[in-house]
Amino acid sequence: MSKVVRGKYTSEAVCGFNHRTAVEEAARCLLCHDAPCSKGCPAGTDPAKFIRSIRFRNIKGAAETIRENNPLGGTCARICPYDRLCEEACSRCGIDRPIEIGKLQRYAIEQEEIFEMNILEAPETVQDEKIACIGAGPASLACSAELAKAGYQVTVFEREEKAGGVLTYGIVPSRLPQEVVEHDIRQIEKLGVKFQFGKEVNVCELSAFDAVFLGIGLWEPKLPEIDGIHLKGVYSALEYLKEARIKKEGFEKGTKVVVVGGGDVAVDCAVTAKLLGAEEVRMVYRRTLEEAPGNMTEFQYALSLGIGITTNMAPSALRGKEHVEFAEFKGRDGLSELKISCDTVIFAIGQRGADMGKAMEADNVFAAGDIVNGGKTAVEAVAEGKAAAADIIKYLDMKGVK
């Protein structure tokens, strides 16, 4: 089992493997010929291959497999829902417990950084074609990396001051440290990808590019239409997480915090509030815990911090003069009611994106990630970004511009 550390807001919550424990865990692998774990990875990271490398102490080979297949290998090692993907497919599930694939992937990438392995390098031959990637989230980063490896000139435009999108601004650092994201991004920069920050491009600027990729994510909040939704102290999830990431200990996190939602984002909000010093934090979800989309390991971590979880309750109203003072909920059974005293309410019930209708009318515009799939996992965004890159290359080939 993974060892949990109750640290500060910026301290990673789960310990990783050392060399001995990594090799011991890899030795449990059954070395399946037609490995189901590799089939279970949307991004094609190929766990079977890198686990085999670790088993035989070829750590650089493991890091090469991960990095060449998944440009966000370090990030995905922290936040992938392994229990529903590669680890669920592991053949050892029928014997005792699955291989801890995520922690082995994390170990290999940590060794890549420690020993300064130069795995990704810019190709010697550079194509004439230029591609713009709008947004610097997981899908754009994966797309830009694949295009750069193929020799194309890629520029990523990001309106924020840092790359990463939701990885940088929407996940609690105890689950995904910023240095992990930045290490992944540095590997992409080694391929020759250029970044422009604090930049929103217009149509005229994009006309200079042979193809455009849209990976702008979902940043507009979904909020319920209930009384008091506009009171002070009411946040959307990404608004709360982003402010916390920027201000850290200087953030006004609230004293009595209620988080509405049952996904990983809701857990991140609750953990953020607690680690930053909120006195009382409670999550409220409209269904049962078994129906919640969040990772059970993350729920257990939240509980270990003293965060309460109430289920089968949906928000009905927020009350207060100017600032929220308490939240009202109605039960799933249609009879129960709940009133919670609070000074902060965070809604983690989903996000929406901008309308891309007109932008997608051009035949040289491609899109992937949350803006297309409605908001899934980072590893799925990586997979879609890689697929979009293949489509762009095919498009440029068909246009005969090479």
12-56: pLDDT as tens digits: 998 999 999 999 999 999 999 999 999 999 999 999 999 999 999
Residue 175 has pLDDT above 50, yes or no: yes
**CATH code for the domain of 366:** 3.50.50.60
Of 83, 114, 145, the domain-final residue: 114
Nearest CA among 43, 242, 217 for reference residue 134: 217
In this structure, is residue 6 part of a structural domain?
Answer: no
Q: What is the pLDDT of residue 1?
A: 45
Confidence of residue 200 (pLDDT cuts 50, 70, 90): confident
Residue span of the structural domain in which 210 resides = 130-219+353-398
CATH number of the domain within which 93 lies? 1.10.1060.10
Q: Are 315 and 231 in the same domain?
A: yes
In a domain, 13, yes or no: no
The predicted pLDDT at position 6 comes to 55
Say whether both 93 and 163 belong to one domain: no
Q: How many CB atoms lie within 10 A of CB 365?
A: 19
Compute the distance between CA of residue 237 and CA of residue 234 in angstroms, rounded to an integer: 10
Cα angle: 102, vertex 104, 105; to 5 degrees: 65
Is 4 a member of any domain? no
Residues 59 and 158 occupy one common structural domain: no
Q: At what angle do helices 264-275 and 296-304 cross, to 10 degrees?
A: 20
138 and 196 co-located in one domain: yes
Backbone angles phi, psi at 91, to 5 degrees: -65, -20
Cα 384 to Cα 8, 76, 304, 313, distances in angstroms: 34, 14, 35, 35
Do 359 and 214 lie in a common domain? yes
Same domain, 109 and 162: no
Beta partners for residue 134, in sequence order: 157, 214
Regarding whether 213 and 357 lie in a shared domain, the answer is yes
Spatial distance between the Cα atoms of 62 and 127, rounded to a whole number of angstroms: 30
pLDDT above 90 coverage of the chain, percent: 88
In this predicted model, what pLDDT tens digit does every residue of 343-391 receive, in sequence order?
999 999 999 887 666 667 789 999 999 999 988 999 999 999 999 999 9
Taking Cα atoms as reference points, which of 212, 310, 222, 205 lies closest to residue 262?
310
Whether 48 and 104 map to the same domain: the answer is yes
User: How many domains does the chain fold into?
Assistant: 3
pLDDT over 70, % of the chain: 96
Q: What is the pLDDT of residue 5?
A: 55
- Distance, CA of 22 to CA of 343 (rounded, Å): 45
Question: Does the structure show a pLDDT above 70 at 7?
Answer: no
Distance between CA atoms of 12 and 15, rounded to whole angstroms? 7
305 in a domain, yes or no?
Answer: yes
- For 319, phi and psi rounded to 5 degrees? -125, 145
Closest CA to 142 of 185, 182, 206: 185
Is 7 among the domain residues? no
Do both 343 and 229 map to the same domain? yes
Q: Is residue 318, in this structure, part of any structural domain at all?
A: yes
Give the mean pLDDT of 296-304.
94
Q: Look at residue 5 and tell me if it is in a domain.
A: no
Residues 344 and 244 in one domain: yes
Q: Is 97 exposed, middle or buried (0-12, 13-18, 19+ CB in 10 A)?
A: exposed
- 206 and 92 together in one domain: no
Task: Decide if 170 is inside a domain.
Answer: yes
Tokens of 242: 């982003």
What residues does 346 pair with on adjacent strands? 235, 259
Q: Where are the beta strands (DSSP E) in 25-175?
A: 130-134, 153-158
Given 84, 114, 144, the domain boundary residue is: 114
Supply the pLDDT for residue 248.
Answer: 86
Question: Are 151 and 108 found together in one domain?
Answer: no
